[in-house]
Structures are given as structure tokens and as C-alpha cells.
Amino acid sequence: MKLMIVVSRVPWPLDKGDKLRIYHQIKHLSERNHICLVALAEGKVPQDAYSELKLFCDEVHFLPLNPYRIAIQILKAFVNGLPLQVGYFYQASNARVVQQIFSTYKPDYVYGQLVRVAEYIKELPTSKTLDLQDALSAGLLRRAVQSSFWMKALLMMEFRRMKRYENDMLPYFDHLSIITQSDKDLLDTALQAKVSIISNGVDIEYFKPIVKPKEFDVVFTGNMNYPPNVMAAQFIVKKIMPILWNKYPTLRVLIAGANPHSTVRQLACQSVEVSGWVEDIRQAYAVSKVFVAPMQIGTGLQNKLLEAMAMGIPCVSSTLANEALQAKVDHEILVANPFDENAYALAIEKLLFEVKIASQLSRNGLLFIKQKYHWQHSVHKLEDLIKSSKALI
């Protein structure tokens, strides 16, 4: 089958969750299909991105976003009632290129990632699936609740627009997909009827236990410019760790991940290392004793939890994050209320100083990941979804 895949970011390097998801989907889909990849590109494309993606694709097209047009398109989206992030990623010149590529490549099917690309592909005359990935509208609402007055007003506006836009996409696509059941449940009933769950996975051949001396007691990873991660990093250092430092002043924390926001960089001190981009994120996990992800906002499955558990690191996260993960509490993971720093501190203390409990949680978590989260199974389900479209029966 010939697939045309349209994404809002160049999926290399794998420094963001959406890039990780589509990269592995492309990799596994390419085993049985021909792929034409079309990726919108903000800024300079990494030098090795084309060669890496060409390993799996017949054609790779990068469509640059003109920075001067972005502001104009956001203004147009505001006037037209569209979500601002849809306007941010849409440019008419790129839409014409997408049409030309479609006409030349003649794909059997089009697969788009995130509503950001919906305007590019919704009118293409073939069967299509749009990967919503998360319940974006619900994520915006959660962020709005925790924001300042002016930011709250902006996010509430975007929430209402996104909620409407998610439903408006129904007639244009044969299928919609999402990562978790918990996110699907946040969508309107009419939308849920058309949404299939296509989970994320983890490369268990790559992310596996590595024995190294432990330099840090607590580690948190992720794109450190993403608001839910910024909030989590601040919560670790400013709320959770002071409780532990009162009893154990030598404990060390590692905050590892690309593009740390200024508020994250300011967390660095003698007891806290903010590493920035890590070439091999496995090393951050391997040199740490406990992984903690106190997610308070955001939706979707946390890839960082999958990676940490696959590497045999005992994990503590929020009840919110575990709604998507669905690990057994106190058996495969420890959880706390998203805003309860005392509960997090107690859980971390238990894993740091009760070796038997930490070892058991580590083993159970690793087995859970191996049994439930692997890319091959997930992508086979996506393939079945694509093949089930009426045009391909």
C-alpha cells in the first residue's frame, strides 16, 4: 500500500513525544508499505534528518514554515474562529505543495498527525485517518485552570475553539485515532464513536536495564520547554525535594531534556543538575535511582514513564498520568495526588531506602512494559485500522 503521511514537525531527532510516536509508526509501517513523508519544518532542519527518515520512506519532503507568515496566519485563525495552533502551522503555499505531492505520488491512503495538519489534508480525495494523539481540548482546559488571569483567558478561548474543531473534523476522516482510553473518554460522545485507540510503545531492545554507578537519587526527563514538564520540574525542586532535603541533605536531582525553559534552568544548584539535551537519554535513567513524574496538567501517555520502566527504574508519578498508563498501583508503580508534595516525598523516600520494595517495583514495572507496550503491536493495529476503510475493502 502507498501511504502519504503528513506531520507538523520533522520527526528527527526524537526530542518530543509526537516525533517519537510518528517515527516508530513510520519505521514499522515501512516494513509492509511504501511511504511518502511530508513534514512541516520550523527553523533549520537537522542535518541528518533526511538521511535518517529516507531509511524508511520512498519520498521525504520538508516544507518550511515562513516565520513572517505565522503571525498573519494566527491572526486569520483568530478572526475565523479556528484554534490558533491550527493557524500557526497552516500556510497556503505549503498547502499547494501538499496537493502537488498528493497528485504526483497518488497514495492509497493519507495519515495525518495532530489537528495542526488537518487543514492540509482534509479535502484530499482519498481515505484518511487523523491521529488526534491526545484530547488536546481537555489538555488546554487543564492548563487554563492552573494559569494566571490573562493566560487563562487565552487558553479558555483556545479550549473552546479546539473543542469545536475536534468535532468539525468528523466528516472529513474515515478514522480518528488517539493514544489512550482515558483521553478518548474526554472527547464528546459523537467523536468517541469514530475514535480508535492506537497506543504508544517503547523500543525494549534500546531501552533496557543498564548497570551504572548511581550519581543521582531522583531523575525527571522530557522536553523541558513543554508547560506540563516545566510545571513538573518546578514542583519536584520547589515542593517535593525540600521535604526530603530536610532529612537527607545530600540527595541529588537530575532534570534531563531538550530546550529547558528559563524557569527550569533557574532550578540548577549544587543539589540539582539541569542537563539540557542529552545525546543518549538512557544514560540519564541509568545513573539515577528513582524516576519521578509529578504530572499535574496535560493529557496522554507519558513516554518518559515507559522508558524509565523499561530500563528497570522504579517510578513515582501522579494519579493523572497513571490514568493513561494503567499500571498497577503499589505493584508496578507508586502514585500520588498531582499536588500532594508530601505523598510524593514519602513514595520517593520508600524507594530510596527500602531496597526490597524498590527492586520488586522495578521488576514488576519492567514486566508490565514488556507485556503491554511495544511498537510492533501498536502499529499492526494502526495498519488494520487503515485497511478497514471502505475504499480499501
The reply to whether 211 falls in a domain is no
pLDDT at 301: 87
> 244 Cβ partners below 8 Å, 6+ apart?
251, 345, 348, 349
Residue 310 contacts residue 202 (beta carbons within 8 Å): yes
Whether residues 103 and 148 share a domain: the answer is: yes
Global pTM reads: 0.88
Whether residues 165 and 220 share a domain: the answer is: no
Residue 143 has pLDDT above 90, yes or no: no
The reply to whether 51 falls in a domain is yes
**314 cis-preceded (ω within 30 degrees of 0):** no
- Domain carrying residue 304: 216-372
Residue 370 has pLDDT above 50, yes or no: yes
Give the confidence band of 299 by pLDDT, cuts at 50, 70, 90. Answer: low
Residue 98 has pLDDT above 80, yes or no: yes
Whether residues 229 and 193 share a domain: the answer is: no
Give the confidence band of 393 by pLDDT, cuts at 50, 70, 90. Answer: very low
Whether residues 325 and 383 share a domain: the answer is: no
Q: Which helix (H) or strand (E) holds 68?
A: helix 67-80
Sheet architecture: strand order including 2-7: 59-64, 34-41, 2-7, 109-113, 127-133, 175-178, 195-197
3-state secondary structure of 289: strand
pLDDT at 388: 86
Residue 188 phi/psi, 5-degree rounding, is -65, 155
Whole-number percent of the chain with pLDDT over 70: 98
The reply to whether 24 falls in a domain is yes
Residue 6 has pLDDT above 80, yes or no: yes
The reply to whether 259 falls in a domain is yes
Which residue has cell 520512498?
58
User: For the domain that residue 310 is a member of, what is the CATH number?
Assistant: 3.40.50.2000
The reply to whether 210 falls in a domain is no
Instruction: List for the chain the helix, strand, coil content (%; round to 5).
Output: 50, 20, 35
The domain tally of the chain equals 2
Whether residues 317 and 352 share a domain: the answer is: yes
Whether residues 246 and 167 share a domain: the answer is: no
Mean pLDDT calculated for residue range 338-353: 97
Whether residues 186 and 329 share a domain: the answer is: no
Rounded Cα distance, 107 and 124, in Å: 10
pLDDT at 148: 86
Residue 171 has pLDDT above 50, yes or no: yes
Residue 64 has pLDDT above 50, yes or no: yes
CA distance from start to end of the chain? 13
The reply to whether 331 falls in a domain is yes
Whether residues 177 and 308 share a domain: the answer is: no
Give the confidence band of 218 by pLDDT, cuts at 50, 70, 90. Answer: very high
Whether residues 178 and 307 share a domain: the answer is: no
Whether residues 385 and 346 share a domain: the answer is: no
Whether residues 317 and 340 share a domain: the answer is: yes
pLDDT at 190: 86
Mean pLDDT across the chain, nearest whole number?
94
pLDDT at 391: 46
Whether residues 29 and 93 share a domain: the answer is: yes
The reply to whether 301 falls in a domain is yes
Rounded Cα distance, 180 and 104, in Å: 35
The reply to whether 206 falls in a domain is no
